[in-house]
């Protein structure tokens, strides 16, 4: 039985929106922003910093953390543990959180490398969402309200995710072998949700039929 619905996505393709709608339709738990909060808690770093770096292999992470701890941003940060935080430790924390989350099924998990961390499980249904550059730009612009920032995010975030997956898993991103479906969200959020629900239902029906 597929009780872990994993959503990976291009930045701006609407993964969070689709994930939330799916969780609502299925009446399953949703893990999206909650994952970032838990990762930040375990890493003892502010959520905003965690959001920026949890899916990146940014070599400046160590330098950034050190600068913050020295007071460049905010002297009221949690603890000196931040000074020894690095990308490898952060990824190990992300893995721990994702694996713990998987035990709280049925649930929908958005991003955070879940299809890669949970690739050896048999109860997952993984979907990759993509969209045209124009659609992704409009979504990002609506979120950030600044054209220059929207273009920068559009040009860098997916490249960072690609490097993250390649560095830590040795896979190309997206690795088609890990996904049950790859959908263009240009069809609309609701249509994307319907397509995923139908595919998930079919997968579970086939699994039950094979057991009979």
193 neighbors 18 (Cβ within 8 angstroms): yes
Phi and psi at residue 74, to the nearest 5°: -150, 120
| Alpha-carbon span 124 to 168, nearest angstrom | 20
pLDDT tens track for 102-126: 999 999 999 888 999 999 999 999 9
144 neighbors 86 (Cβ within 8 angstroms): no
| Alpha-carbon span 124 to 107, nearest angstrom | 10
pLDDT tens track for 158-187: 887 888 788 777 888 899 999 999 999 999
The CATH-assigned architecture of domain 4-211 is 3-Layer(aba) Sandwich (3.40)
Tokens read off for 138? 């409009």
- Rounded to two decimals, what is the model's pTM? 0.81
Tokens read off for 205? 């029906």
> What count of other Cβ atoms lies within 10 Å of the Cβ of residue 211?
7
Helix (H/G/I), strand (E/B), else coil: 138: helix
Does the structure show a pLDDT above 90 at 68? no
Helix (H/G/I), strand (E/B), else coil: 124: strand
Please state the rounded mean pLDDT for residues 63-86: 41
């Amino acid at each position: 039985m597929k009780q872990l619905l994993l959503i990976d996505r291009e930045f701006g393709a609407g993964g969070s929106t689709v994930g939330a709608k799916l969780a609502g339709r299925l009446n399953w738990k949703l893990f999206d922003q909650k994952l970032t909060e838990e990762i930040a808690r375990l890493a003892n770093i502010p959520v905003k910093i965690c959001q920026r770096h949890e899916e990146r292999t940014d070599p400046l992470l160590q330098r950034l953390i050190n600068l913050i701890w020295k007071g460049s941003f905010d002297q009221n940060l949690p603890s000196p543990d931040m000074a020894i935080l690095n990308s490898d430790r952060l990824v190990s924390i992300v893995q721990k959180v994702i694996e713990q989350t998987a035990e709280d099924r049925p649930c929908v998990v958005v991003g955070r490398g879940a299809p890669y961390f949970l690739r050896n499980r048999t109860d997952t249904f993984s979907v990759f969402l993509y969209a045209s550059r124009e659609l992704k730009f409009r979504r990002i612009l609506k979120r950030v309200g600044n054209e220059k920032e929207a273009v920068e995010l559009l040009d860098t975030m997916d490249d960072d995710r690609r490097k993250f997956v390649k560095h830590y898993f040795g896979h190309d991103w997206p690795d088609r072998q890990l996904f049950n479906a790859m959908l263009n969200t240009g069809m609309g959020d609701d249509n994307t949700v319907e397509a995923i629900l139908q595919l998930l239902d079919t997968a579970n029906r086939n699994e039950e039929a094979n057991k009979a």
